[in-house]
């Protein structure tokens, strides 16, 4: 699928390891990466003007709302640049960059470059989407093109149907445990099979989002009727184009996973591939549980959390923090009563943004242990080198918030 997209964009048939120059449909950066890109444009390229105001966006999400005068000044810089160039600038509370791009911009066959490693999220809609640094972003904003090596492809087929209490997050963690954190380095990870076909776009986005955690250059899913339905929901049905691999596609690597073999998973500190079934950690006391992020902060995630927490309370001594992924997700959750359920259970529901995941607005204390639905559990990821981060699905996290310890959702009264 990566070769199909890049061949379409370049007008030439490309093969793995070809070095190509490709036009970019959308470039985006946030308050952690855009300021440097602006400085590099001005100082290195001698311009502050973007090539096309419709193909560049700015997003304030990584430290939102701003926790300091330094961040506030950085965000002022972004707004000034956005006004000069008449580009869209998404504000504090609009949401995480990747959710905003999913809702408003990503579509099949687009080439999307973000100054953030989890830009691979948008492969869930059949886009070739990958992260690059601020230097590359400066050139893309100025010229509208970038260069890259065509990645070889890794076929990941998940057969059958996911068992009850097992989600796409569990499927990716299980996969990561199998192939390790560098098992797909600079490869296009293509998620296929009957289990993936049955997933919603939101569930597919979890796996595409985490492709970088196995080293992937991008994480692609086929564009099918689920894709069309998602785009229609956001008023973009005209952007739908079907995408799938050829029946005789040649893959550099392949793995077949039986969905029945997957249990609820836990990734333990301090590596995403340090994965075991939840039973290996049941009973581990938790100081905090976090639900949200660009991985698991969508409406279906909040619905799962509300179902588990309905008429229950967060355990004494454990904090529950919830970050919806976008303003539209928050509004829908309010309308459905999901937010009321979470607040009544004892959750601190915060303004849409990155929040706890990057550790700039919600940090952990020394010696604390957290179970989170985010994508990374590296040392210091949540603002403290002396804390421990465990990763799980939303259902496992919500069930654990009630007990105050890591809990197998299959054994909880949910």
Tell me what the mean pLDDT of segment 50-60 comes to: 97
d(CA 15, CA 5): 11
- DSSP assignment letter at 404: T
Q: Minimal CA–CA distance to 98: which of 375, 382, 363?
A: 375
The whole-number pLDDT of residue 358 equals: 81
What sign does the CA torsion over 210, 212, 216, 219 have?
positive
Q: What is the DSSP letter of 405?
A: B
Q: Which residues contact 202 (CB under 8 A, 6 or more apart)?
A: 230, 298, 299, 300, 301
Q: What is the pLDDT of residue 238?
A: 96
> Which pLDDT band, with edges at 50, 70 and 90, does 63 fall under?
confident
- 38 has pLDDT over 70: yes
* Residue 354 pLDDT level (bands cut at 50, 70, 90): confident
Contacts (Cβ under 8 Å, ≥6 apart) of 81? 34, 38, 48, 58, 87
CB of 37 closer than 8 Å to CB of 141: yes
Q: What are the helix (H) ranges across 320-393?
A: 327-335, 338-345
| DSSP per-residue letters across 59-128 | E--TT-S--SHHHHHHHHHHHHHHHHHT-EEEPTTSB-HHHHHHHHT--TT-EEEESSGGGGGGGGGT-E
Domain range 2-149, CATH class: alpha beta
At 277-301, the pLDDT tens digits run 999 999 999 999 999 999 999 999 9
Q: What was the pLDDT predicted at 78?
A: 95
* Residue 145 buriedness (CB in 10 A; 0-12 / 13-18 / 19+): middle
- pLDDT per residue as tens digits for the range 116-153: 999 999 999 999 999 999 999 999 999 999 999 999 99
Q: Using the predicted structure, report yes or no on whether residue 213 has a pLDDT greater than 90.
A: yes
Nearest to 116 by CA among 248, 226, 26: 26
- CA 164 vs CA 168, 260, 262, 264, 356: distances in Å: 12, 10, 10, 10, 28
d(CA 288, CA 33): 28
- 153-261, superfamily in CATH? Aconitase, Domain 2 (3.40.1060.10)
Secondary structure (3-state) at 307: helix
Mean per-residue pLDDT, 301-315 = 97
Asked if 251 and 153 count as a contact pair (C-beta separation under 8 A), the reply is yes
- Cα 402–chain centre separation: 26
With cut-offs at 50, 70 and 90, classify the pLDDT of residue 361.
confident
Task: Report the DSSP beta bridge partners of residue 90.
Answer: 59
The residues near 243 (Cβ < 8 Å, ≥ 6 apart) are 1, 4, 5, 108, 109, 126, 222, 223
Would you list the domain boundaries of the chain?
2-149, 153-261, 265-409
Beta bridge partners, 220, equal 190
Q: How far is CA 106 from the centre of its chain?
A: 13
According to the model, what pLDDT value does residue 379 have? 84
- pLDDT value, residue 112: 98
Distance CA(26)–CA(24), nearest Å, equals 6
Is residue 92 within 8 A of residue 64, CB to CB? The reply is yes
d(CA 259, CA 391): 20
Name the residue with higher pLDDT: 70 or 122. 122
In the chain, % of residues over pLDDT 70: 100
Q: In degrees rounded to 5, what are phi and psi of residue 403?
A: -90, -20
8 Å CB contact between 69 and 76: no
State the Cα angle at 351 between 270 and 229, rounded to 5°. 85
Share above pLDDT 90 across residues of the chain, in percent, rounded to a whole number: 92
**Strands 26-30 and 265-267, bridge-based pairing:** unpaired
155 vs 365, more confident: 155
Q: Does domain 265-409 have CATH number 3.30.499.10?
A: yes
Domains 2-149 and 265-409 share a fold: yes
Q: Could you write out the DSSP letters of every residue in 6-63?
A: HHHHHTS---TT-EEEEE-SEEEEETTTHHHHHHHIIIIIS----S-TTSEEEE--TT
Across 222-353, the runs of DSSP E, i.e. the strands, are 253-258, 265-267, 275-277, 288-292, 319-323, 348-349
pLDDT of residue 316: 96
Per residue in 98-112, pLDDT (tens digit) is 999 999 999 999 999
What does pLDDT average to over the chain? 96
Helix (H, G, I), strand (E, B), or coil: what is residue 149?
strand
Residue 414: per-residue pLDDT? 66
């Amino acid at each position: 699928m990566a070769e199909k997209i890049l061949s379409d964009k370049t007008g030439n048939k490309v093969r793995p390891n070809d070095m190509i120059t490709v036009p970019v449909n959308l470039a985006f950066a946030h308050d952690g990466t855009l300021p440097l890109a602006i400085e590099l444009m001005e100082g290195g390229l001698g311009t502050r003007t973007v090539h096309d105001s419709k193909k560049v966006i700015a997003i304030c999400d990584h430290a939102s709302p701003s926790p300091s005068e330094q961040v506030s000044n950085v965000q002022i810089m972004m707004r000034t640049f956005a006004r000069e160039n008449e580009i869209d600038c998404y504000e504090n509370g609009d949401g995480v960059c990747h959710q905003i791009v999913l809702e408003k911009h990503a579509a099949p066959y687009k080439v999307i470059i973000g100054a953030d490693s989890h830009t691979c999220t948008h492969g869930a809609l059949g886009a070739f989407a990958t992260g690059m640094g601020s230097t590359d972003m400066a050139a893309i904003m100025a010229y509208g093109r970038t260069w890259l090596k065509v990645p070889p492809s890794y076929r990941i087929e998940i057969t059958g149907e996911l068992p009850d209490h097992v989600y796409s997050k569990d499927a990716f963690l299980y996969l990561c445990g199998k192939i390790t954190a560098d098992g797909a380095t600079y490869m296009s990870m293509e998620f296929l099979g009957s289990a993936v076909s049955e997933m919603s776009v939101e569930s597919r986005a979890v796996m595409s989002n985490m492709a970088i955690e196995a080293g992937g250059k991008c994480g692609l899913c086929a564009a099918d009727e689920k894709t069309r339905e998602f785009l229609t929901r956001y008023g973009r049905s005209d952007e739908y184009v079907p995408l799938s691999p050829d029946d005789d596609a040649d893959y550099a690597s392949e793995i077949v996973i039986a969905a029945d073999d997957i249990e609820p998973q836990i990734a333990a500190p301090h590596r995403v591939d340090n994965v075991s079934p939840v039973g290996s950690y049941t009973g581990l006391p938790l100081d905090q549980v976090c639900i949200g992020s660009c991985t698991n902060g969508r409406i279906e995630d909040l619905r799962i959390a509300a179902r588990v927490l309905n008429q229950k309370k967060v355990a004494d001594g454990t904090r529950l923090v919830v970050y919806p992924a976008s303003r539209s997700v928050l509004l829908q959750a309010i309308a459905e009563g999901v937010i009321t359920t979470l607040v009544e259970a004892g959750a601190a529901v915060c303004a849409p943004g990155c929040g706890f995941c990057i550790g700039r607005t919600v940090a952990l204390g020394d010696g604390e242990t957290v179970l989170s639905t985010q994508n990374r559990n590296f040392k210091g990821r949540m603002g403290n080198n002396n804390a421990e981060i465990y990763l799980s699905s939303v259902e496992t996290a919500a069930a654990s918030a009630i007990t105050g310890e890591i809990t197998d959702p299959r054994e909880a009264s949910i």
